[in-house]
Structure 1
C-alpha cells in the first residue's frame, strides 16, 4: 500500500471532517463509524514500509487530523475565551494523536492484529482518564457523537457513552480491514469484514429500536415549570441589569405558567448572580423576594442557581481554593451553587463539583492553587471555586420527588450524574447558562448531552438555560417542548419520577475502568518486549 504525499494530507483532512460531522446539528452521529478509517489507512501505508519506522510522520499526520476534528467540532469555545479555545483544541488533539501514535508503534513492532486491539484498549483508557483527571475535557468522547441519534443507543442504559465509543471503534476497524483487503485484491476477506461491519452495526441498532419502542415511562408524575429569563451574560447578567430587575423578569415568566398543581419551578445557573453569603442567605432581600413569590403556591418548590460565599470558621482546615479577606485575617470560599427551597424557607445547597477548567478551577489546585488568580473571568463567581465533596440530592416537602441539581458542565459527566441517582434522585434538573458561546453549535451540543444522561439513568430531565435552549427530556431521551434560543420563555410540563436503577447507574464506567487497567498492561507488555529484544541484540 503506497499513498502519495498529497493524498496523505487529504486523508488527514477527511478523517477530521468525518469525525466532526458526528457533532454537527444535522444528527449525523453515524459519521463517526467512518472517521478513523482515513487515518488507519495512512498509518498502514507507513507500517508496511520496510526499514523505516516513520513514527514522527504518523504522529504529525494524526495530530493534524485530530486538530481538524477538534477545531471544526469545538471552535465555538472562542466566543467565550480565545485562550481557552486554543488550549482545548491544541492539547486535546495532542492527546488523541499520542494514542494513535502508540497504536502505530505497537502495530509496527508487534503486528497489525495486536496493534488494532491495542488501539481499542488505549483509546477507551484515554477517554476514561480524560474524563477523570484535572485536565478533563470529555466533550469529544466518541460515544457522545450519537447524542443526536438516540434511537440508535437506548442500550446506553447498560454501557454509558464508553459503550458507544467501543462500538464506534470496532466498526471503524472492521471497515478499515475490509477496505485494506479490497485494496490488496483479497475480495473474499474484504467481503467477510464488510459483512462483520454490517452485523456489528445492525445488531445494536435493532436492540435499541426494540428498547425504544417498548419502553414505558415510569414513576409518579410531577408538574414542573422551567424558566428561561434570557439575560445577556456579557452585558446584563453580572453588571448591566440590576438583580432585582432580573428577579422580576424571572417571576413574571414563571407566574404565567404556575398553577396550584405545580410541584417545581426551575431557574437557570446563577439566577442570583451577585454573590450571597450562605450564613445569612435567608435574610438576603433577593432570597426573601423569591420566598414571598412561591408562598402564593403552597405545593411549590423552587430550584435555581446562585453565586455564593462561605466563610471559614476559626481553626477550620482550609481548602486549596480558600481566599483570604483583603481587609482581614479570615478566609472564605466562592461557589457556583444550586439552591432549593419551598414555602418553609429552609434552603438546601449544592456546590458545583465538575468545574470548568481555566474559568472555575485551575488544574492540580493542591500544588498550583496560586494559579486561580489567572482564571478567565466570565462574570459571576470565577477563579478557583470550591465544590461539594459528593453529589447532593434535593427534595420537595413530601419527599416524593427528589431532583438531582446538575449544574451546566456537570451534565457532560455520565458517571458523576449516576452518583445522584444512587443517592435517591428520581428526576434530573439541569441548570445552565449557555449564552457564553452565542448562537453556535456549542449550546446545541450541550443540550443533546442531557439526552444521554436521561437514557443512561432512565430519569426524566428538566433543563433551564438562561438564554436557551430550555426543555423537558423524557426517560427515552426525547427532547420535548424546547424553547427558542435567546428568547424569554417559560414552559410547563409533566415528568415522571422513576425509582428504578439501570445497570449503568449501578456499575458506572466499568468499560472505561477495565480499559484503563488493560492499557497499563498493554504498555507494560510492549515496553518489556522492546527491552527484551534490545538485550538479545
Structure 2
C-alpha cells in the first residue's frame, strides 16, 4: 500500500517542485540558471500519464505554484486578484500539459482500453525498452539514429507548444506576457541576445528542448546500461550544438551592437520614491510638485558644480554635463493636462504652469518628459473645464525648450491599458464589476481611461541633433508587439515612465525591469526608464545597465543596491545612427507563430494516424 501511495504522490510533488524552481529564476531570487533544471522533475511526472486531463492537472498544479509565488506582490493591492490571476494563468500551463502528455509524450503507447493500471503500463514500457536494447549489434547505429530522431521530434513538439502557448498568454484577452520563460535570461545577457531574432517568447524554446532531450537521454541510458548495450546519443549532441550556436550568436551580437555608430543622448532621471498612498492625496499635491522641483534643482546644481570643478582642474578641452532630457516618472504631476479637440496647444493648471514655466524651464535648455494624465476639456463661460464623457488618457508629455509653454508640449497617449486597473470592461452594464474592484483593492474605481491610437514616435531635440523617442507608459514596456510598431529607420531611444509604487517594496519593480530589458534587445534601441519607486535606469541596446562607453552602472539605487530610494542619475543613451531594423522589429513574433503552426500540423498528423 505504501509503495502504491508513493507512485501516486510523486508526480504531484514533482509538479510543485518544478513550480517553485521556476519561480526562483526571476527577481526575488534571481537564480537564472534554474531555467535549465526546473522542468526536469515535471516532464517525467507528465510523461508517465496517458490522459490529457492527467497532463492538464499535473501542469496546472505546477503553474498555480509558480504564479502564486511569482505574483505574490499582487497581494499588496488585492489578495483576491492575486489568487484569481494565479488560477487563470495556470490554465496555460495546463494546456501545455495536455499536449505534452499526448502528442509530446515519447513514453506513450497505444494500450487496450482495459489497461488502466499504471504499474502494468510501466511494465509494458519496460519490456519494449528491453527488447529495443537487445537488438542485434549490427543494427545499433541505425537504431541510435532512429531513437535520436524520435527524441528530437518529441522534444521539438514540447518546445514548440511551450513557445506557442506563451505567445497566446501574451496576446489573448489583451494579454499578460509577464515573466515568460525567456525573461529568466535577464541576468545572462549572452543568451538573451537572440531575442532580436525570435523575440523574448522564442527564447523559451531552448530550455524546453534541452530538458526534454535530457530526460529522454537519461532514461535510455539507464535502460541500455541494464542491458549492457550502449548507443550513441545523437539527440543530445544536436541539442548541445544548438545551444552552442545560441551562445556564440550572443557573444558576437553583443560585441557587434556595441560597435555601432551612435548618437548620444544625455539624460537626467529624477526619482522621488513617493508612497502610493500619497500620490492621489489632494493635500499632498503641492508637496509632490515641490519634491520634483527640488530634486531637479539639486541634480542640475550638482552637474553645474561638477562642470565648474572640471573646468578649473583641466588643462585642455572639457566636456560639460548638460542633459538633453530631464525625465520624471508616470503621473509625476498630479493635476491633468487639458486639451480642447480641434485646438492647437494645451492648457496647464495654474500651479503646474507656474512650476514648469518659472521653476523648471529656467534651469536649462532641455526637454522635460513626464507622466501626466491628459483630459479632454471644453470652453464654458470663457473658462476651460473638464468635459464630462470626454477622453481621459494616461499620457507622456514632452515639454520642449524655446517655445511658449502651451505650444511646446507634445504628448503620447497610452495604448495598452491594464484591465481592472485602468479600465473595467462592461462596467456600465455590469456594476458588480466596479463593486468587486472596490472589494478587492479597497479603493473606488476612478473611471475608465481611453486608449490612445497613435504609433508615431516623438521627435525631440538633443545637442547632437533630433532623435526619435519611442514612448511607452507603465507595463507597455513588457509588450514587444506594441513597441515594435514605433520603430523607424532613424536614431531612436525608448522612453518608459512608470509607477510601481502600487506594489510597495516588493519584487514587482525588479520583475518589471527584467521584462523591460528585452525591448531594448529585441529592437536594438536603448531604453530610458523613469520610475517613481524604481527601477530607474538606462538600458543599452545590448540589454545592459552598464554604459558601453564609460563602464559606469546606470541605475538609481542607494549604497546597498536598493532601488527604493530618492535620487537622480545623469547618464547616456546611445541611439544607433542608422536605425538598423532587427528581424523581430520587421517580422514580430514570427517564430512563435511558426511554432503554433508546427504544433497544429503535429496535432493533425496525430489525428490522421489515429
Q: Which residue of 2 aligns with 1:496?
A: 574
CA deviation string 1:52-76 (max 9, x = no partner): xx43333222211121122222211
Is 1:334 the counterpart of 2:337 in the alignment? no
Q: Give TM-score scaled by structure 2 length.
A: 0.76
Q: What's 2:325 paired with? A: 264
- Quick check: 1:80–1:436 contact (8 Å CA) kept in 2? yes
1:5 matches 2:8 = yes
Q: What residue in structure 2 maps to residue 324 of structure 1?
A: none
- Which whole-Å CA distance do the structure 2 matches of 1:141 and 1:365 have between them? 30
Q: Would the alpha carbon gap of residues 312 and 365 (structure 1) be closer, same or farther in structure 2, given more than 3 Å must change?
A: farther
Question: 1:128 aligned to 2:207?
Answer: no
Q: Which is higher, the Rg of structure 1 or of structure 2?
A: 2
Match among 285, 295, 299 for residue 350 of structure 2: 285
Indicate yes or no: 2:608 matched with 1:529.
yes
Kept in 1, the 8 Å contact 2:529–2:537? The answer is yes
- 1:151, CA displacement in angstroms? 2.5
Higher mean displacement: 138-147 or 329-338: 329-338
| Residue deviations 1:355-393 (CA, integer Å, cap 9, x gap) | 222211346899989956754668798543211124342
The equivalent position to 2:183 in structure 1, one of 132, 144, 147, is: 144
Does the C-alpha gap of structure 1 residues 328 and 454 become closer, same or farther in structure 2, counting only changes over 3 Å? closer
Match of 1:71 in 2: 68
Secondary structure of 1:223's match?
Answer: strand
Retained in 1: the 8 A contact 2:522–2:582?
Answer: yes
Residue-pair matches, total: 509
Superposition CA RMSD, Å: 3.2
Residues 117 and 220 from structure 1, CA distance in 2 versus in 1: closer, same or farther, beyond 3 angstroms?
Answer: closer
TM norm structure 1: 0.85
Structure 1 distance, partners of 2:234, 2:602, is 28
- Alignment partner of 1:22 is 2:86: no
Structure 1 segments unaligned to the other structure (5+ residues):
48-53, 314-326
> Counterparts in 2 of 1:98-109, with a 5 A limit?
98-106=95-103, 107=105, 108=108
For each residue in 1:260-298, what CA deviation from the matched residue of structure 2 results, as whole angstroms up to 9, or x when unmatched? Answer: 832111110111234443338424224412233343156
Does the residue aligned with 2:459 lie in a helix, a strand or coil? coil
Distance 1:491 1:97 in 2: 44
CA displacement, residues 226-273 of structure 1 (integer Å, 9 cap, x when unaligned): 11011111x211116522221121121112233683211111011123
Q: Which residue of 2 aligns with 1:216?
A: 259
Q: Provide the secondary structure at the position in 2 that maps to 1:105.
A: coil
Work out whether 1:460 is the aligned partner of 2:533: no
- Give 1:126 deviation, angstroms: 1.6
SS at match of 1:296: helix
- Could you tell me how far apart the structure 2 residues matched to 1:450 and 1:328 are? 34
Partner of 1:481: 554
Q: Is 1:246 the counterpart of 2:312 in the alignment?
A: no
Deviation at 1:410, TM superposition (A): 0.7
Counterpart Cα distance in 2 of 1:242 and 1:383? 22
* Contact 1:76/1:442 (8 A) holds in 2: yes
How far apart, in 2, do the equivalents of 1:378 and 1:427 lie? 38
- Equivalent of residue 507 in structure 1, options 583, 587, 601: 587
SS in 2 for 1:160: helix
Q: Within 2, Cα distance between the matches of 1:468 and 1:378?
A: 24
In structure 2, C-alpha distance between the alignment counterparts of 1:458 and 1:380, rounded to whole Å: 41
Contact 2:337 2:347 in 1 (8 A): no
CA contact (8 A) 2:196 2:524 kept: yes
Query: CA 1:112/1:496 → structure 2, altered by over 3 Å: closer, same or farther?
Result: closer
Q: Which residue of 1 aligns with 2:142?
A: none
Q: How has the CA–CA distance of structure 1 residues 66 and 245 changed in structure 2, closer, same or farther, with 3 Å as cutoff?
A: same
Q: Which residue of 2 aligns with 1:323?
A: none
| Aligned residue in 2 for 1:317 | none
> What is the aligned counterpart of 2:214 among 149, 166, 175?
175
Shift of 1:333: 3.0
CA–CA distance in 2 between the matches of 1:92 and 1:208?
Answer: 31
Distance, in Å, in 1 between the alignment partners of 2:371 and 2:435 is 23
Structure 2 unaligned residues grouped into runs of 5+: 111-149, 305-320, 380-384, 546-552, 558-562
